[in-house]
């Protein structure tokens, strides 16, 4: 598996002299929203981050709702190590927020993905919860990435989002463009092209699968 991940590293991001704005290194400690409609590239961009995190030796958690976009056979085919990926199935957005809280609070995860993109119900996260999640991501130097299935012109999850980006497909690539970035300001228009190998699903909701875990196997809450 390690050899396969190294081989796929050429596809995660094109070579660049600077650090891409949508990379694990630049997202650590931040509350991020990644938006896009169906077949937009949201899933491709998110699993680019998962691959990057696994290559760095980080533990990754993926929180999935019913009718979510996560489908293990497809992501396994593009190199994601399912043996080390913690997947948590929850019934609704409120439970997803609580799961993300526990995962971040443990301090054991470098990347937590909260997949709300394929959910047909209410995907709002209360402001107090968003504040807590953002604080935990900063405290434990982890990246919290929330996937939402909406167009760029629609409102973000809230004012507490540190970076909002839009993903879209252009041919065999997905493009991620910053819509709002509290670190750089709205006037800085930036985009990254993420190339991934054939086989990644077209970001459409997938059926549930029995490989998903009900709770993370190692969540030891810190004191206090």
Q: Is 139 helix (H, G, I), strand (E, B) or coil?
A: helix
Confidence of residue 73 (pLDDT cuts 50, 70, 90): confident
The pTM of this model reads 0.76
Which residues have CB under 8 Å from 187's CB, separation 6+? none
Q: Return mean pLDDT, the chain.
A: 76
**Which helix (H) or strand (E) element contains residue 95?**
helix 93-106
Does the pLDDT value for residue 186 go beyond 70?
no
Give the pLDDT band of residue 175 (cuts 50, 70, 90). confident
* Nearest alpha carbon to residue 117 among 2, 16, 38: 38
Token pair in block for residue 44: 């491709």
Return the SS3 of 61: strand
Domains and CATH numbers, the chain: 2-14+30-152+160-195 (3.40.50.300)
Q: What is the pLDDT of residue 78?
A: 73
Which secondary-structure segment (H or E) carries 46? helix 42-55
Structure tokens at 39: 């077949």
pLDDT digits (tens, 9 = 90+) for 13-60: 444 445 677 889 999 999 999 998 766 678 888 888 999 999 999 999
The answer to whether 71 touches 201, Cβ cutoff 8 Å, is yes
Q: Is the pLDDT of residue 171 over 90?
A: no
The long-range contacts involving 14-17, CB below 8 angstroms and separated by at least 24 positions, are 14/193, 14/195
């Amino acid at each position: 598996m390690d050899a396969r991940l190294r081989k796929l590293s050429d596809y995660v991001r094109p070579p660049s002299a600077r650090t891409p704005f949508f990379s694990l290194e630049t997202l650590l400690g931040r509350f991020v929203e990644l938006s896009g409609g169906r077949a937009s590239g949201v899933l491709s961009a998110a699993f680019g981050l998962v691959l990057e995190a696994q290559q760095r030796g980080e533990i990754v958690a993926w929180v999935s709702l019913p009718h979510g976009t996560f489908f293990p056979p497809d992501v396994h085919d593009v190199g994601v190590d399912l043996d080390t990926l913690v997947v948590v199935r929850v019934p609704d957005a409120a439970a997803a927020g609580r799961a993300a809280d526990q995962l971040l609070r443990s301090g054991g995860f470098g990347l937590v993905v909260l997949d709300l993109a394929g959910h047909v119900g209410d995907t709002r996260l209360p402001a107090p919860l968003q504040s807590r999640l953002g604080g935990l991501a900063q405290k434990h130097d982890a990246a919290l990435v929330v996937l939402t299935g909406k167009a760029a012109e629609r409102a973000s999850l809230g004012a507490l989002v540190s970076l909002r980006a839009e993903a879209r497909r252009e041919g065999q690539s997905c493009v991620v463009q910053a819509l709002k970035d509290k670190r750089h300001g709205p006037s800085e228009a930036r985009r990254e092209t993420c190339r991934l190998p054939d086989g990644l699903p077209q970001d459409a909701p997938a059926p549930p699968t029995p490989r998903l875990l009900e709770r993370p196997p190692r969540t030891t809450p810190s004191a206090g």
